[in-house]
Chains A and B, each alone.
Chain A
Amino acid sequence: MQTVKMVISGAVNAGKTEFIKAISEIEVVSTERRATDDTKLIKKETTVAMDFGRIAIADDLVLHLFGTPGQKRFDFMWEILSEGMLGLVILVDSTRPETFRETNRIIDFFVSYRDTPYVVAANKQDKPNAWSPDELRLALRLPPHVKVLPCVAAERESVKQVLLELLYVILQQSEE
């Protein structure tokens, strides 16, 4: 049995747990805890260790989805999660420009030294005042080759589209 892995990252409250829940075939094993420190100002529950989701591709192949924990003090998990990943989805809460800098820090961590295939998902597009994907591209100063996709993490179709777009990027970098 071969397993491959994708990582779903983004700032606190970006929608990582929601995203994995929408597509995973198993109940997401997320370690939600009552939020402490600054996070509790934003939300009651936060992902403490990580999210985990699974999609069976065939009898001999499974895809694992790992969501990184949002809180800063779990940053050490990132290295471990990112080892050997196929690709990366960076989720952004499109309604909260105060998280854009943190988002850039995360992108920088994952892609600065390695040529990791990734896409940016402009999440919460269903909310009024969501910044559009084009606006996010400029706000995050992403280079033109990086895809910025509209996303509503609670909707499976939308999550599917984001994963497919990431897979197309991976496909381009794959070998015969």
Chain B
Amino acid sequence: MALVGNIRDFSLSDFLYLVDRGYKTGCLHLNRLDESASLYFDKGKLITASRKDHAASVTDLLIQKNKLTSLQASDALVAQRNDGGANLSQVLLQREYISREELQKILQQYIEESVYVLFGWPDGEFRFEQNQRPEVTSPIMPVPLPVEHLIMEGVRRIDEWGRIKDRIPSNDLVVKFVEQPGDKAKGVQLAAEEWRVFARINGKDTLAEISQKTGLSEFDVSRIVYGFLTAGLVDVIKKPKPLPVMATGRPMAEPPRVKRGLVSRIINRIRGM
């Protein structure tokens, strides 16, 4: 069973959030015009990605960067075939052809670049195939990437007001931290401007107030908060207001406090239907 949709309606960052919180394993396929991309996740974290015409194997990538010889590459390939369990990245590490840090650095950079451009797509069909795994020769990172990291960077690259407005319709919304961010904040690296906003979040100030206090434009504050929001770090809430007045001029009523006995009668009736 696949999850399908269009990133115009359900954005890439929304999807990444779902993958993360849903602890999902599988492949997200994206298609737009003649472009396509595949992002592979393991338990909610990104392990590899490729774009069409860019689908390189880990060994090709390293040879290109002069980090591996063709001899080592063919040797590793043979070893991988004989050892069904390990992927090619793991075999390279076992044979000590490259250090873990260096392999991570090269692959992460390559994968991030493949992913970040996708945030610029205004639309595109997506299809998430649960439990689909990458080829063993793919550039699989030794350390999977937490998606909040991708979301923050991806959001830095969008300047589409419409998408931000959708989640943050007004400047009088109050920004507050989510109750249990868990270790979410750890995976995120903030830029200086983002820290300024982050430090001002107190559950009382609105976006407009944060903009005033930081001297950043309202657009910048909204964009930054949108990033935090999409990464699941904060919530925006309405300022508590007196009950709104209806078109009819009467204030909206609180829901009536109902009697337990009445509810039980309805329950019994519906159970018996």
Contacts and interface: CB of A to CB of B under 8 A. Distances in A.
Contacts of A174: 257-260, 262-263
Contact of B263 (A84, A112, A171): A171
Contacts of B253: 83-84
Contact of A135 (B8, B9, B18): B18
A113 B241 contact: yes
Nearest to A139: B18
B161 interface: no
A115 B244 CA distance: 14
A63 interface: yes
Contacts, number: 115
A134 B18 CA distance: 10
B270 A101 contact: no
Contact of A167 (B6, B244, B254, B270): B270
Contacts of A101: 9, 166
Interface residues of B, number: 41
A97 B9 contact: yes
A131 interface: yes
Contacts of A112: 238
B247 A79 contact: yes
A135 B262 CA distance: 34
A58 interface: yes
B18 A97 contact: no
A123 B166 CA distance: 24
B181 to A, nearest CB: 14
B32 to A, nearest CB: 16
Interface string B228-269: 000000000010010110111000111111111011111101
A175 B259 contact: yes
Contacts of A168: 267
Nearest to B241: A113
B33 interface: no
B206 to A, nearest CB: 16
A41 B87 CA distance: 48
A87 to B, nearest CB: 8
B54 interface: no
B265 A61 contact: yes
Contact of B266 (A4, A117, A134, A139): A4
Contacts of A131: 3
A82 B43 CA distance: 41
- The main secondary structure of chain A at its interface with chain B is mixed
A164 B270 contact: yes
A4 B256 CA distance: 10
A167 B266 contact: yes
A17 B259 CA distance: 29
Contacts of A84: 253, 255-256
Given A116-B255, A129-B3, A57 B22 contact: no
Contacts of B55: none
Interface string B1-28: 1111110111000100110011000000
Contacts of B255: 84-86, 114-117
Contacts of A100: 9-10
Interface of A: 2, 4, 23, 55, 57-58, 61, 63, 76, 79, 83-86, 96-98, 100-101, 112-117, 128-129, 131, 134-135, 138-139, 141, 156, 160, 163-164, 167-168, 170-171, 173-176
24 contacts: A4-B266, A83-B253, A84-B255, A84-B256, A86-B256, A86-B263, A97-B6, A97-B10, A98-B9, A101-B9, A113-B241, A113-B252, A114-B252, A115-B254, A115-B255, A128-B1, A129-B4, A134-B22, A135-B3, A135-B18, A135-B22, A167-B266, A170-B263, A174-B263
Given A55-B273, A79-B247, A164-B267, 7 more contacts: A2-B262, A4-B266, A79-B252, A98-B6, A114-B254, A114-B255, A129-B1
Interface of B: 1-6, 8-10, 14, 17-18, 21-22, 166, 238, 241, 243-244, 246-248, 252-260, 262-267, 269-271, 273
5 A-B pairs with least C-beta separation:
A97-B5, A98-B9, A97-B10, A138-B18, A174-B260
